Structure 1
Amino acid sequence: MTRLSLLALFCFLSSPAWALVPPDYREPPNNFTAEIEAGFQLNTGNTDSTSFNGRTKLVYDTSKTTQEGTFKAYYAADSENTTAEKYDLQLQSNYKLKQGYVFGRGEFVWDKFGSYTDIYTISSGYGFDAISTGRTKLSLEVGPGYRYNLPIATDDEPDPSSETDVILRTAARFEQKIHEYTTFNADLTAEIGENNNTVTLDMGYKNTLFQDWAFKIGFYVKYTEIVPEGSQQTDTITTFNLLYTFQ
């Protein structure tokens, strides 16, 4: 076989590959991201106790809208009783404008041992990015809402009545990429109502270990101005978790 024949055969065999994968081909953008984190602790011997916390966050971001959902779970028990059990579901939908976005948001909390065992909050409003660079992002939100609270049962109030309130919700979401493998974020939220006020701070420090795995330290604190008798105004949660991100 001549060199000319070999060259013709090579071009013939290669042409389908070029047709299937053009030289300027790029993978389509992936609008979906997710984070899953969990931490577990088991103590035996002089102290028998178990604790677990988990968090799942799903985000679907397009040119027009952003859909975000977060679910958190906390559980702790000693050798005799359950000492903590809390579930938190947050849903938010943003519709992007030329400047900022409008949002609808719902948060649903079930806390067996909290000062309020059921807390449902629905709000809407306007948000915008006050800072948006490669390393730093700060988003601000404000809008009206409605809150439902069910106080924990006590000896004095074994069957407490639910409380409702119209609120003004303000929020600031901050994220700072310290360097390629380390990120710090903090979300500060205030809900001002006619009957009660709350302030919540949710912070996290994430350090990538390898590929999509990271170690995360979380700190959550919530202050409630008016609580049932015998309850504390401030609740705090500190977590040490492994986190996996995929997209």
Structure 2
Amino acid sequence: MKKTVTVLGTLLLSSRAFALVPPDYQDPPSDFRAEIEAGLQINTGNTESTSFNGRTKLVYDTRKAKQEAVIKGYYASDSEETTAEKYELQLQSNYKISPGYVFGRGDFSWDQFGSYTHQSTMSIGYGFDAISSYKTKLSLEIGPGYRYSQPIDSVDDPSPEAKSDVILRTAAKFEQRLHEYTSFGADLTGEIGEENTTVTLDMGLKSILFQDWAFKIGVNVRYTEVVPAGSEQIDTISTFNLLYTFQ
């Protein structure tokens, strides 16, 4: 009799626990999301070179606000010296209103071999979602800002003075889901100033391999209207990375 009561009690408790936690239960979606991607290339033999690039994106999205941080790094070297070294930090805070959002943003870059070794841009403005569906997303932003730029040393000007400029920043952020496992994204940003104008296009094609892992091909093209003597106006970076997403 005691054994029977014990078995019945165990079954009763198990059924209650099963009712409280059904088999298809999933944790509620998190407000936090992160992406980490990296790519490494090493060449040996006739060509001795190494290149590495990495990117981390952190997003905290709530009902009233959205915080976003992006960190990027690029490095390349051959058998004799470093040939490329660049780091970028992007911070943006959105406060949601109806419709759209107001934002504050900071862009910072350090490029040892670029036409400008250091650039800082601070901007504020207004943005809104022009398209927001499951397959297609498009947001537009506009606002004033301030840019500080330090030109690279050159033979003509071994100690160049830093330049500052009031700018108008415009941006378009586009994302298209091609099918369930593949998506395409493109960010186009323009900074129009009296002293200088820059246009940056950042594109990426992402294909999910399994679960939270994906393969991503990216291209970053930056055009700078006014550059120091001996520098190119267009800088291009191509990446082939493995990406991991968690939330």
Shorter-chain TM-score: what band? over 0.9
Residues 55-80 of structure 1 show CA distances to partners (whole Å, capped at 9, x for unaligned) of 00000000011000000000000111
Q: Summarize the alignment of residues 149-160 of structure 1 with structure 2, pairs less than 5 Å apart.
A: 149-160=149-160
| Pairing 1:14–2:19 present | no
**Alpha-carbon distance between aligned partners in 1 of 2:12 and 2:44, rounded to the nearest angstrom:** 70
> What residue number does 2:48 align with?
48
Name the structure 1 match of 2:127: 127
User: 2:136 aligns to what?
Assistant: 136
Matched, 1:210 2:210: yes
- 2: CA distance, partners of 1:97 / 1:42: 48
Change (3 A) 1:25 1:38: closer
Q: Which residue matches 1:106?
A: 106
Instruction: Give the equivalent residue in structure 2 for 1:67.
Output: 67
Alpha-carbon spacing, 1:35–1:13, altered in 2? closer, same or farther (3 Å): same
**How many Å apart are 1:26 and its aligned residue?**
5.7
* CA distance, structure 2, for counterparts of residue 23 and residue 48 of structure 1: 54
Q: CA deviation at 1:159?
A: 1.1
Distance 1:22 1:238, change over 3 A: closer
Give the alignment of 1:170-209 within 5 angstroms: 170-209=170-209
Partner of 2:162: 162
Find the residue that maps to 1:153 and give its secondary structure.
coil
Partner residue, 1:145:
145
Q: How far apart, CA to CA, are the structure 2 residues paired with 1:22 and 1:37?
A: 35
TM-score, L = length of structure 2: 0.94
Would you identify which runs of 4 or more consecutive aligned residues in structure 1 move more than 3 Å? 4-8, 18-26
Distance in 2 between residues matched to 1:105 and 1:206, nearest whole Å: 26
2-structure distance, mates of 1:17, 1:110: 56
Alignment: residue pair count: 247
Once the two structures are aligned, what percentage of the paired residues are identical? 70
TM-superposed CA distance for 1:155, in Å, is: 1.4
Q: How far did residue 11 of structure 1 move?
A: 5.9
Q: Equivalents in 1 of 2:187, 2:149: separation in Å?
A: 22
CA distance, structure 2, for counterparts of residue 242 and residue 26 of structure 1: 27
Report the residue type matching 1:124 in the other structure.
I
Shift of 1:166: 0.2
Secondary structure of 1:14's counterpart equals helix
**1:14 offset after TM fit, Å?**
3.5
Matched, 1:234 2:238: no
Q: Equivalents in 1 of 2:66, 2:46: separation in Å?
A: 49
Q: Distance in 2 between matches of 1:34 and 1:133?
A: 21
User: Letter of the aligned partner of 2:42 in structure 1?
Assistant: L
Q: For residue 226 of structure 1, give the secondary structure of its aligned residue in structure 2.
A: coil
Seen in structure 2, the aligned counterparts of structure 1 residues 43 and 61 have a Cα distance that, compared at 3 Å, is same
